[in-house]
Amino acid sequence: MNGARERAYLVALDYENQGVAALEEQMLELGELARTAGVSVVGTDIQRRPRPDPALFIGSGKADALHSLKHEAGFDLLVFNEELSPRQQRNLERKLEVKVIDRTELILDIFAQRARSKEGRLQVESAQLHYLLPRLVGGGDLSRLGGGIGTRGPGEQKLESDRRRIRHRIRELDKEIKEVRAQRARRREGRRRVPYPVVAIVGYTNSGKSTLLNALTQATVPAQDALFVTLDPTTRLVRLPNRHEVLMTDTVGFIQKLPTGLVAAFKATLEEVQEADLLLHVLDATRFNGRDQMEAVHEILSDLEALDKPMVLALNKVDRLSPDARRGVLAQDWSPARAVMPISALKKEGLRELGQAIGEVLPGDFVPIEVVLPYSQNARQAEFHARGKVEAVDYRADGVAMRGRLPRRLLPRFEPFLVSARDDAHESATRPAGS
């Protein structure tokens, strides 16, 4: 952002009886979002009324009060916690003579700043243009796109007021995103040929997902105390305490009221969640509204038809809790998680126990198998130890006899060495001709 930082005043409307504590938590989060976008927050306000005003969202009296407060507080940006209609947004800007944005536009702006890969930039631009298009209807006035929030991405490219050109650009983006999805599908297919189970790390933004992936793998995924630091998925190989190996994928953080356009645009990224064998849900155990954050994650997982997958819940940052608070958090019902593990990703506490829980919850589909692996097949021997459950090993003249259980999808690799196959081959070789 060029020049001085924008100064924002945050506004919410309580018309659903959400309760003071829940709304205050939402406003704290809205403030975090604003600061992440590079904005200074100079004040907040919550109005209570039975329903939003069709023309202004807030009441006309509150709008007049904000107009009077504008110079006293010195704000040049008004940020609403709820999504505004194009009409409400235009009316507020005309009445208050300041730029007005809603939670959706704020999140889109952060995504525009944080997207690094071509895939991420395509998805953000698509979501921004879908958001922008209805706001051109009847008005077409984009003079507000002079700088700051809401101007990054397509705003900077002057993609402007021609709705036909924007629709054409959306079609181009959709085509490119389809190609990205196809590439990602090919990469997943390649991973299946080296068939490691896939664990998708999901959770609320800033819950510690990237810090956990770094702790488990010595990866260098950006991790800091800010929202939406990671937009592009990162996949790393992790060896669990039971010596089995899994692929762990870090995914974009979720949030309450995540714009539906973003969920749609990031479908290619979120397919990693749909294809996973297990979900590792990371939850910040220190948050007052942890239950609300969990439900926000579950809602998106449900939309992705992934909520029924096996899940392990990692209650992160427990090192910041008192012993009593820690016991209280662990005593809660965290279903549908099949295991609940207290950890500190930053201090690397509880990670071994977490790995054991993942190994126990992962869908097994193990089948019994007995093979004789020639001594030249060192890689197969190591794979049996790493990926299977070895019950007996015998070193013989013709190779290493191994008995145990292997994941079903690994069986084709070991078929040539099955004891039954070797016995059949031996019987065919020793059977008299013509018998």
Cα dihedral 123→125→126→131 (10° resolution): 130
Intrachain domains 196-361 and 366-430 with the same fold: no
Residue 132 contacts residue 126 (beta carbons within 8 Å): no
Fold (topology level) of 366-430? Alpha-Beta Plaits (3.30.70)
The DSSP output letter for 229 is: -
Task: Measure CA of the first residue to CA of the last residue in the chain; give whole Å.
Answer: 86
Cβ–Cβ under 8 Å, residues 18 and 81:
no
Dihedral pair phi/psi, residue 386, rounded to 5°: -75, -35
Residue 101 CA to its chain's centroid (Å): 24
**DSSP 3-state assignment of 38?**
coil
Q: Taking a C-beta distance cutoff of 8 angstroms, is the pair 167, 208 a contact? A: no
Domain 1-193: CATH class, spelled out:
alpha beta
Which residues lie across from 235 on neighbouring strands?
249
pLDDT in tens, 72-83: 999 999 999 999
Query: Residue 210: enclosing H or E segment and its boundaries?
Result: helix 209-217
What are the strands of the beta sheet with 198-203, ordered from one edge? 234-239, 245-250, 198-203, 278-284, 311-316, 339-342
pLDDT tens for 319-345 read 999 999 999 999 999 989 999 999 999
State how beta strands 399-407 and 366-373 pair. Answer: antiparallel
CA atoms of 265 and 173, how far apart (whole Å): 10
Q: In whole angstroms, what is the distance from residue 233 CA to residue 221 CA?
A: 10
Q: If residue 334 lies in a helix (H) or strand (E), which one and from where to where? A: none
Is residue 406 within 8 Å of residue 365, measured between CB atoms?
no
CATH top class, domain 196-361: alpha beta
Q: Output the pTM of the full model.
A: 0.71
Give pLDDT tens digits along the chain (435 positions).
445 789 999 999 998 777 777 788 889 989 999 998 999 999 999 999 999 999 999 999 999 999 999 989 999 999 999 999 999 999 999 999 999 999 999 988 888 887 777 777 888 888 888 888 888 754 444 444 445 666 555 544 444 456 788 889 999 998 998 888 788 777 767 666 666 788 999 999 889 988 898 898 875 555 555 555 555 667 888 888 877 788 888 887 788 777 676 676 666 567 778 888 899 999 999 987 788 889 989 988 888 888 999 999 999 999 999 999 999 999 999 989 999 999 999 999 999 999 999 988 987 667 899 999 999 999 899 888 877 888 999 999 999 999 998 877 778 889 999 987 555 444 444 445 444
The per-residue DSSP string of 133-186 comes to: GGGGTT----TTTTSSTT-TGGGTTT--S-HHHHHHHHHHHHHHHHHHHHHHHH
Task: Give the other-Cβ count within 10 Å of 35's Cβ.
Answer: 15
Domain ranges of the chain: 1-193, 196-361, 366-430
- For 154-178, write each residue's pLDDT tens digit: 544 444 456 788 889 999 998 998 8
Separation CA 181–CA 251 (nearest Å):
15
Contacts of 94 (CB under 8 A, 6+ apart): none
What are the start-end ranges of the H helices in 240-346?
260-265, 267-274, 290-303, 323-330
Q: Which two structure tokens, joined as six digits, stand for 172?
A: 């181009």
